Amino acid sequence: MKSSVNYTFEVQVMSAEKLSFLLPAVFTIGPHIDDEASLLKYAKLLSPPNKLSNHVIELVQGIIEGETRVLAVSMTMEQIFKGTKEFKQEVFEKVQLELNQFWLLIYNANVKQLVDVRGHEYFSYLGQRTQMGEVGSKEGQTLQNAAKVDAETKIISTQRQGEGKKKKKSR
């Protein structure tokens, strides 16, 4: 019997501003294998009421979708975008809290890049804005460097002119 299972989801969630986006995620979930009582409870959880039951998949999916939506709706898109790592970590923590009651453990969780829902290009826009900001700051840095070189050139030129005048006077 395989103890952990991969669950792949693409959860559609909404931010505090009611902007939709997709959260693609893969969770590897299974029982606490070092605890016999947890393994027995996990075995009972896997025993479906009927042979065609997907109740564990539905349970895990429901928890992940629910916790992700609750967290996302409490944050603005900017908060989610700027704090993607923290957002993902908080999703994992909230999901794990819910899974604990079913004796399940997240062994691994990966949230891929947040994706815009068709018609809502917010993440694309923020990414472009960030890139433009980087280009703008690089252009600004280049202009600052050019001004610094100009100033240093003028100083050296002035110093050389002064040295040239001293040599003429000493002759």
Domain ranges of the chain: 5-120
- pLDDT exceeds cutoff 70 at 140: no
How far apart, in whole angstroms, are the C-alpha atoms of residue 50 and residue 47? 8
**Bridge partner residues of 10 (DSSP):** 24
Backbone angles phi, psi at 168, to 5 degrees: -65, -40
For residue 108, the 8-state DSSP code is E
Least confident of 25-34, 102-111, 115-124, 152-161: 152-161
Task: Name the CATH code of domain 5-120 (choices 3.40.1000.10, 3.30.479.30, 3.30.390.50, 1.10.3720.10).
Answer: 3.30.479.30
Output the pLDDT for position 99: 93
Q: Indicate the pTM of the whole model.
A: 0.63
Least confident of 2-6, 92-96, 119-123, 161-165: 161-165
